[in-house]
Each structure stands twice: as structure tokens, then as C-alpha cells.
Amino acid sequence: MTITQRFFFSLIAVIPLLINMIGMPFGWMLPGGNWTALVLTTAIMLVSARPFLHSAWAAFKNHQANMDTLVAIGTTTAYLYSLYAMYRHQPVFFESAAFIITFILLGQVLEAKMRKSASSAVEKLLDLQAKDANVWRNGKWQQIPLEQVQIGDLIRVKPGEKVPVDGVITEGSSNLDESMVTGESMPVTKNKGEKVIGATINQSGTFTMQVQKIGNQTLLSQIVQMVKKAQTSRAPIQRTTDQVSHIFVPVVLILAILTFVIWVVIIGETPEKAMMFAVSVVIIACPCALGLATPTALMVGTGRSAKLGVLIKNGEVLEAANNIKTVIFDKTGTITQGKPVVTDVVGSKQQVLEIAGALESDSEHPLASAILAKVKTEGIKISKVNNFTAIAGKGIKASFKGQEALIGNESLFTNKILSSSLKIQLTRLQDEAKTVVLVGYGQQIIGLIAIQDTPKISAVPTISTLKHQGLQTVMLTGDNERVAKAIAQQVGIDWIVANVLPQDKAKVVEEQQKKGPVAFVGDGINDAPALTLANVGIAMGSGTDIAIESGGIVLVKNNLWGVVEAIELSKKTFQRIKLNLFWAFIYNTIGIPIAAGIFAKWGLILSPELAGLAMALSSISVVSSSLLLNRTKLSEEPDFADSSNHKL
């Protein structure tokens, strides 16, 4: 019989007893009197309560005691005593046993429902996967089940379809909605050569991709595995309750015996009244709420954060994140985009970019790709140049439309005159820590191009939100102080540590830890030691290659706002665990004395039935409190699309 069936059985059997109880003050009695109560309660004990008795006995044989022990002892005591009382023609308490069983089963039915809904988040993630794929096999496109897809296969993905597995685009391009995996709400444009993630949705164009990862190697299943691990992990705060749980039930049984003895021997109450107090103690003390407090909150908290693209590794990380005082950011690739882009063009934009594009078209210099990207977005055609010469450490010289064209740093232009207006601009741009290249045509310097690794749009709101929450922000970088300062100013970061060699990043973390717990945010590729050393290591993902192993928290999306979400969600979840534990403890520390009849003098007593109801409510309230984590408000993510023209 399932719990639900057992509950309904006892519910039906308990209704006549309930009517009897309500009717009694009006002189109305159940036909058959005690005999009816005996039959109904016996049925409940045999059908609905039998599993409790079975489990309690099995546990007893193992020298163990659990909540079933308490329920079994509480109800059988009431039941057996009533049998004896009936024989002696004294008042009976059959309904106590019947009500306790009904209430506890009601609690378990609701609790099981809620727990299932709390754990469903991860399973839903896996449902996101496509069931089949359109694969190139035997010279034609074929629809085959996902399990048969192999690494190296070519797959065609049409608009509206899901990308079946992880891979790289070999032909075509499209916009993809990756929100279900990365939590990034804006669609992402992917071109040939770029990686796509399984389970994301192709929005606009048809493309062909080559399969790189299948089965449990795909990003989605890695995420699911990590979330599952997090959900089953233990938080250090739980240790106290774990230790208590071993001795809890035996201690409660001893307390119940003492309650009985004190009421009978010292106060001189009748044994049946004393027994009611003892039974109430046993029933109210069920440690369910205590056992549910941490795992349910952990499950809901990590599940919700996974949906936002924030993977929290375990309960320990969650607890550590709660105490963070300082957040250290790596600069390149974390605060900044990690690749230089053109920020300013001085002079005639059209002409400067046309010449620069022509000169740089064959160069492989990182600055060249920034310039070419800019030329492309401006829609300028790239023309041919002749007599191309690259001058090492200086720049490029060539002839363009019959005249000499130059691009490079100041040393390339020693024999040319820089106009005073350009000179002012050059100094200004350099003060902003930008790399400036000069463009010359004919005998003149016609313009300047400033290039910088710009901060991510999400950096400014992220840093200001963190500061608003009372956290110290630090940026460390291998760049010189001037560049570091310029970036720090743009994003509003408090402290900078410049000229840090990659291997010294961990040292900076150690230094900062003297002031308090530290979170380190890095890309996870060369920051592993710093990520590990920090109290909380937050690894930024960038699309498909997330370094799951390296951080305590992994951000699937390449969006700095995830740091705010990660810290906030960890805090909220941890606070919820504390709240749950507090309630569960309070409930027992207040409930047990009341049930024992300490306040009976003032008329405050707890009958065994009410104790059963209270115990059911306590577990339900703890689980619903955990489920409410799904609804707690988080800081609003600013609309980055609006701030994209923000001058960076």
C-alpha cells in the first residue's frame, strides 16, 4: 500500500471517531460505543500503521531508533492502554492513536509531494535534450535517434530545432537561444567555426555542425551531474544535527518515561493522564523537520541557481559564500572581454579605416584583428596594397593608390609632423590606457586608432551591486598600473593589484584572506591555484568550455552578473537552511516541554492528537519554506542591451 492509500484508509476510518468526539458534548455517542472505536482503531493500526510498526521493529533489532520508532511507541502505547482501560471499564483513548496516525500520514503525503517537486529541477534539465538528430549518413540526411549519433558526425539543424549535441558549426550561421543551458537571456550569434551547445534552440538559420561531444560528455549532462552532486552534498552546518540525530530518539524516549514518572510519582496524577503526557512527548519530538531542513533547501537552492547558469558545487561552497568579504577579479577575460577592440577612431573615419584595413589585411597581429573587425562592422571594403613591408616593432608600410601609407606606433612616424590637435587626442587616449596606432597617408598623419581590451558591459552593474552589498572589490592584472587604473576607474572597482605574474595570483588571494574570506573570480584556465585557494572560487565559463573542476562555483554564461547571482543565491539558500534548522529546533525545544505538561498549571497542554498534527505541520512548513526559495527575489539583472552604448 502506498502512503496515500494508507492515509485515505485511516481518514475514512477516523471520520466516525471525529463525529463521536464532536458530538460527545451534545450527548451524542457513536453506536456501539467503545466497541466501534476499538474496531476502527484496530483497522487503522493494522492497515495504515503497520509499516511504522514493521520499520520500528526492524530498526530496533539493529539497535537503531528513528521517527517510526516514536510513532510506533506513541500509538501502540495509547492503543494498548485503551484495551486495558476498556477491560477495566475506564475511559479509553482509541481516537488518540487513530488521529496521530492520520495526521502523520497526511504530513508524509504532502511532504513527499513537495520533495518530489523540489528535486524535479535537474530531471527537467535533461528533458531539454532533443530526441533525435538529422545526420549525414550513407550519402543522405537521415533522422536518427540521439543515442546513435557519434563523434565526428555531421548534423543539420534547421530553424526552430534544438541543437542535439555539442559541436562546431561547419557551414552556415544562426542565432541561438542558449538560455536553458547558460542562463544567458540574449540570443547569441554563431558563425562557422564557433561552438554550439546541445539542447539550445536554433532560432534563425540552418547550419551544419560536426559532433564533438556526446552522451555524458556534453555540457548539459556535465551540468546535470554537477547539480546532482551538489544536491546530495552535505553542508557543514548540518553536522550538529547529524550528531544529534543518533541519540535524539533514545533521549526522547527517556524524557517520555521521566514525564510519566514525574506526573505519577511526584505530582500524584492518575496513570492515564500521565500516559497522555508521555505519549504527546514521544509524538511531538519526531525529528523529521530537523532531517528535512538542510537537504530540501540545498536541493531547491542549487536547482534554481543551475537554471540561471550558476552551478554551485556543494553545501560547503554555499556556506563559504555566505561569509565572503572581498571579491577579487582577474582582469583579462573576466572583467574585460579578453580581446582588444577598437574604441576610438580620430580623423576621417572612412579614410582612416580604409587605409588601416588595407594595410592590416594580411597581418596576424592581435591589434590587426581588432582593426579588421572594426572595418568590417563599418561596412568598409578592404582594398589591395602594393610594396607591403612590415617593420618589426614599429608597424607596416605599403603603397596605397599610388601613395605611401603607414600604420604603426609613434616610432614609425619620426619624420612626420603630428598636428597639435592630434597630439592632444593622442595624449588623452594614452591616458585612458589605450593602445594608439597612427595612420599616415602621403606626407601626413591622417588619424589615430585607439584599441583597448574593453570591460564587459556587465562589469559596471556587477561591481556596483557587489559594493552596494557591502563587499570589497579588488582587481588583479599582469598589466601595468596605468592600464589597470584606467579599467578600474571605468568599472568602479575599489582596489587594484597590478603587475601580477600569473603564478603570483594565488599570493594575492592569500594576502587578501588576512582581512577576511575571499571569493576569486577567474576564467578557470590559468587561475586554478587562485581559484582553489580562495574561500570561494568562481570560474567564469565562456560558452562550451567550462572548467567544471576548477571552481567551487561555475558560471556557465560569460556574463559577470552571474557573480552577483551566485553570491546572492548562496546567501539566500544558506540563510534558508539556518531558518529551517532554527524552526525545527525551536519547534522541538518548545514542543517537548509543552507536551510534557510543564505548562499544564496554566492550562497549556498538548493532547497526543494535537502533537501529531503539530509534528505533521512542522515537516510541511520546513519543506514549503525550502520551496519558497524558488520565489525569493534576487537583485534585478540590469538590461545590458540598453547600456551597450555606454561609453567604455
Partner 1 sequence: MFKILIVIGALFLIGFIIWWFLIPRPQKAVTARTDVNHLQNVTVKVDGGYRPSTVVVYQGKPAQITFNRIDPSSCLEQVVFPDWGISEYLPEKKEHPIKIDTSKAGEYQYACGMNMFHGKVIVKKERK
Applying CB under 8 A, the span of 261-269, 376-384, 406-414, 515-523 interacting with partner 1 comes to: 261-269
What is the three-class DSSP state of 218? coil
At 10, is the secondary structure helix, strand, or coil? helix
Query: In this chain, which of 11, 18, 39, 60 binds partner 1, going by CB under 8 A?
Result: 60
Nearer residue to partner 1 within complex by CB, 251 or 628:
251
Q: Which of 221, 233, 337, 573 forms a contact with partner 1 (CB under 8 A)?
A: 233
Closest to 473 in 3D by CA, of 570, 338, 330, 332: 330
When asked if residue 158 is in the footprint of partner 1 (CB under 8 A), the reply is no
Read off the amino acid at residue 235.
Answer: A
10 binds partner 1 (CB under 8 A): no
| 555 touches 538 (CB < 8 A) | yes
Could you tell me how many residues of this chain bind partner 1 (CB under 8 A)? 52
Region from 85-93, 256-264, 415-423, 596-604 binding partner 1, contact rule CB under 8 A: 256-264
Among 61, 381, 631, 647, binds partner 1 (CB under 8 A): 61
Altogether, the residues listed in the chain come to a count of 648
Angle between the 288-307 and 561-596 helix axes, to the nearest 10 degrees?
A: 170
Look at strands 326-330 and 472-476 and give their pairing. Answer: parallel
For residue 126, the one-letter residue type is L
Residue 623 CA: distances (Å) to CA of 114, 356, 391, 577, 585: 7, 64, 70, 11, 15
**By the rule CB under 8 A, 112 interacts with partner 1:** yes
- The stretch near partner 1 (CB under 8 A) out of 51-59, 187-195, 204-212, 563-571 is 51-59
Nearer to partner 1, 269 or 568 (CB): 269
Q: How far is the CB of 119 from partner 1 (least distance, A)?
A: 8
Query: Which residue is associated with the grid cell 591555484?
Result: 529
State in angstroms the smallest separation of the CB of 502 from partner 1.
30
- Least distance (Å) between residue 637 CB and partner 1: 29
Q: How far is the CB of 178 from partner 1 (least distance, A)?
A: 24
Q: Could you tell me if 335 and 455 are in contact, meaning their C-beta atoms sit under 8 angstroms apart?
A: yes
The verdict on whether 330 is a catalytic residue reads yes
Q: From the list 126, 254, 586, 604, which residue makes contact with partner 1 (rule: CB under 8 A)? A: 254
Short-list 523, 503, 527, CA closest to 563: 523
3-state secondary structure of 286: coil
The DSSP symbol for 484 reads H
Rank residues 294 and 343 by Cβ distance to partner 1 and give the closer one.
Answer: 294
CB of 59 to partner 1, least distance (A): 3
Q: Give me the sign of the Cα torsion angle 163, 164, 170, 172.
A: negative
C-alpha grid cell, residue 179: 538560455
Q: Considering the rule CB under 8 A, would residue 240 count as an interface residue with partner 1? A: no
Phi, then psi, of 436 in degrees rounded to 5: -115, 130
CB of residue 101 to partner 1, shortest distance in Å: 13
Residue 508 contacts partner 1 per CB under 8 A: no
Partnered with residue 403 across adjacent β-strands are 400
Task: Give the Cβ contact number of residue 62 at 10 Å.
Answer: 7
Which residue, 307, 179, 298, 319, is CA-closest to 236?
319
For cell 492502554, what's the residue? 81
Stretch of 229-237, 501-509, 568-576, 579-587 contacting partner 1, by CB under 8 A: 229-237
Per annotation, catalytic residue among 68, 166, 330, 527? 330
Would you count residue 492 as binding partner 1 (CB under 8 A)? no
E strand or H helix at 134, and its extent?
strand 132-137
- Give min distance, CB of 258 to partner 1, in A: 7
Of 50 and 156, CB closest to partner 1: 50
> Quick check: 258 binds partner 1 (CB under 8 A)?
yes
Which one of 249-257, 419-427, 468-476, 600-608 is the stretch in contact with partner 1 (CB under 8 A)? 249-257
DSSP 95-128: HHHHHHHHHHHHHHHHHHHHHHHHHHHHHHHHHT
Per-residue contact string for residues 113-152; x = within reach of partner 1 by CB under 8 A? --x---x---------------------------------
Q: Please report whether residue 260 would count as binding partner 1 according to CB under 8 A.
A: yes
Residues 286-315 as x/- pattern, contact with partner 1 by CB under 8 A? -xx--xx--x--------------------
Asked whether 47 and 31 are in contact (CB, 8 A), the reply is no
Binding test (CB under 8 A) with partner 1, winner from 9, 52, 99, 520? 52
Asked if 392 and 365 count as a contact pair (C-beta separation under 8 A), the reply is no
Q: Which residues bind partner 1 (CB under 8 A)?
A: 3, 50-52, 54-68, 108, 112, 115, 119, 225-226, 228-234, 238, 241-242, 245, 247, 249-250, 253-254, 257-258, 260-261, 264-265, 287-288, 291-292, 295
Q: Which residues are catalytic?
A: 330
